[in-house]
Amino acid sequence: MEKRRVVVTGLGLITPLGIGVKPSWEALLEGRSGIGVITSFDSSGFPVHISGEVKGFDPLLYIEPKEVKKMDRFIHLAVAAATMAMEDCGLEITGENADRVGVVIGSGMGGLPAIEHYHKIFLEKGYRRITPFFIPMLIVNLAAGQVSIKFGAKGPNSAVATACATGSHAIGDAFRIIQRGDADAMIAGGTESVITPMGIGGFAVMKALSTRNDDPGKASRPFDRDRDGFVMGEGAGIVVLEALESAVKRGARIRAELVGYGMTSDAYHITAPAPGGEGAAACMAAALKDAGVSPEAVDYINAHGTSTKYGDEIETAAIKKVFGEHAYKLAVSSTKSMTGHLLGAAGGVETAFTILSMEQSVIPPTINLDNPDPECDLHYVPHTPKYTDVECALSNSFGFGGTNACLLFRKFRET
């Protein structure tokens, strides 16, 4: 059976840079960091005092008051970003098409804030004081569940939990669902909100986080010689994917075409990437093969680029392995230099940024790249955006456990 073509018709974003696609994108092109001092809890006893928090978010603008208390923050963010994406695409779900519209939204860690809050209540006051909404607040699949309930989407409904590759895997899985004809449209992406004592503390004891507390805006510095770890962020990135014929039939604005999806495993270590980037390289190559696109056709890579010592070096090595001499001709940038690392939401957010890059013929910069690591010698678009045509672009996401996801997008052409 011939695979159906799949296009992107809607985008929704909530990031440390802003609430909505427009403010997030504008801040990105301005090179403005969303990193600041943690306000969600007292971090004075921790080695890390910085994060990429979403500021000024009000779930009541998107969710009924009686429903808000049934959801943890990662679900609030997902529902809000999905609402933006559905408004952007103009897709109306009715009794006639509801079973042909599905949802795949994942989260790396789910409702950690709810777990911490109600564990404290349990210890102090006993189990009877735990809210009956506790389990639905925290389980990962309730982001997808709540979105499907809000919009009446009765098609495939699933959740992904693959650490930092979650958002990209969710979009890739939704892509496959449409390709094989099991749905005509999918709401897909990732969401995360774990800037909590346990979340920050857990990554801090792993020595994974930057401790550049005196200068938060300079802390996330992918590919820079002086990087000292990633900065945790929160947010959600949701897209609406549609079968081409469905989008054309309703006269939808087509923002891009998703043409390739790769997924591999390093099978190496619980947190460290495989030496030489073998798993990441295999994943990028798989996305290219799936799309039938040559390496030379790719203009831009939105890198995983977390600002960790080995991660950035190994991703660079993987890009060279797949793209050869062309690796030095294409542009690579890490938008995490401004958003921080949104864990399970990263792939969804970076998918949106990749699509906007193609739409507007501009590549967002990697800020804070003041002293490039000699091992990281590609064109990372330092400091300021690069205005150039982007016909084909790749978005990379690599997670703990060695799980890898790559999505390849192309400007939409009718043939």
Whole-angstrom distance, CA of residue 316 vs CA of residue 314: 5
328-338 b/e (C-beta count within 10 Å ≥ 16 → b) = eebbbbbbbbb
Active site residues: 164, 304, 341
CA distances from 227 to 57, 210, 211, 295 (A): 30, 8, 10, 29
- Other CB atoms within a 10 A radius of the CB of residue 42 amount to 10
- Other CB atoms within a 10 A radius of the CB of residue 2 amount to 5
Residue 125, token pair as written in the block: 């006051």
Which residues lie closer than 8 Å to 193 by C-beta, 6 or more apart?
Answer: 54, 72, 73, 74, 76, 77, 113, 234, 235
